Amino acid sequence: MESNIETEEDLRHILGHYESVRLDFKASALLDQPTERIIKQLTEDVSAFANTEGGVVVIGLSEGKKGKKSVAVEIDEGIDPVKVQPEWLEQIIASNISPPIPGLTVRPIPLSGYKAGRVAYVVTVPKGVTAYQARHSLLYYGRTEFAAVPLHDNVIRLLMTRGRVPQVRVEIADRQILTADEEWAGRQTKLAEIAEKRKTGEVVIYGRSVPSHEDLTAPKRDHDQLSFRLALVNTGEVTIRDFALSVAFKMSSELYRVQFRSLSGIEFRFRFAEGLRKTTFGGTFGGEEHSPPERKVFPDDRVVFPDQDWFIRVPARTPVAKRGVLLHWTVYLDDAPPSFGDIDVTEQFQQDSKRQYSE
């Protein structure tokens, strides 16, 4: 979501969302402030994103509070791009972060209606390869769920090794929602097809493509099913040959269930190179050892791991925004500190799915 904000419609999709470890928003009025205040606010956030997982700062959204968290309320009056040019904004941010952040951009988003001619700005901050300092305060910042916070010395030292040790990020991929209504309708269609085949005397073979009669005629489900896969991205400059992935889920309701293959629970652990062992083949004239090719994850590569679907079952017709499923991942790497992060599964499905759930 954060890296795909390109239109006014994309801005509307953010409304109602909280600030997070990869998203921050500010009102357009910030750019009416003295340059020193603009530098202070933006460079703290930019330093924090670069030192954590990367992210975006959207300038042009008014915000409110829900508890301790900031939420985007509406697209505000916008910014006059003649008075505050994107090139100027990018330059003052870049020149006040040390060292420079490769790939930092400021993109204008044109507004419409009575705001035509005005823009919102999206500041995109890539995840860095070292530690980045906000020059105004001489501090290094990291991103939490709520804000940018100064980092301790030991964390800064670790960040400065990022270009020399493996770095990874875990993402959610291949998202799909199968609602109870859709699953029920699919079974009714399949039953109608079977009945038609029987009328014509055609033999019906149950198996993978045709579930058993008991499964097809089972009562309607009481749950919707979210399915997805996990992908690991090598965000560093070092090739990864092995790692262990630990996944834990936190859910807002005891009614929710997580399933991977035939396993159900809230915590799982996998080893990337597991099973890659030498095997021996025998024959009339002796044996031969064979080693499967080594699996590697090169810089910028993205691999689905584990190569299976995950399923989350939630009570039927629960609005996506109220589902509350958090995935915490940790990747253990050779000769490097573990990488870790959180993924709001609810937010991923809310933004990527085009299905609308009534309240």
The per-residue DSSP string of 227-286 comes to: EEEEEEEE-SSS-B--EEEEEEEEES-TT-EEEETTEESSEEEEETTTT---EEE--TT-
Please tell me whether residue 345 adopts helix, strand or coil conformation. Answer: helix
Element (H, E) at 46: helix 35-51
Cβ-contact 299, 241 below 8 angstroms? no
Between CA 2 and CA 121 the distance in angstroms is 13
Please tell me whether residue 294 adopts helix, strand or coil conformation. Answer: coil
Q: What is the pLDDT of residues 29-48, one digit of tens each?
A: 999 999 999 999 999 999 99
Q: Which residue has the tokens 């409304």?
A: 15
Between CA 218 and CA 188 the distance in angstroms is 11
Element (H, E) at 268: strand 267-271
- Nearest residue to 325 (alpha-carbon basis) of 222, 209, 138, 175: 175
Give the per-residue pLDDT at 350: 67
**Residue, of 145 and 330, whose pLDDT is higher:** 330
Dihedral, 90, 26, 133, 297 alpha carbons, nearest 10: -80
* pTM for the whole structure: 0.59
Give the per-residue pLDDT at 285: 44
Q: Which tokens is 121 given?
A: 């700005």
Q: What is the pLDDT of residues 272-326, one digit of tens each?
A: 876 555 544 444 444 455 555 678 899 889 999 998 899 988 888 776 556 678 8
Domains of the chain, start order:
2-162 (3.30.950), 171-179+221-352 (2.60.40)
Range 208-227 average pLDDT: 86
Range 52-56 average pLDDT: 91
Banded model confidence at residue 259, pLDDT cuts 50, 70, 90: confident
Using omega within 30 degrees of 0 as the cis cutoff, is the peptide bond preceding 166 cis?
no
Range 254-276 average pLDDT: 78
Give the per-residue pLDDT at 274: 67
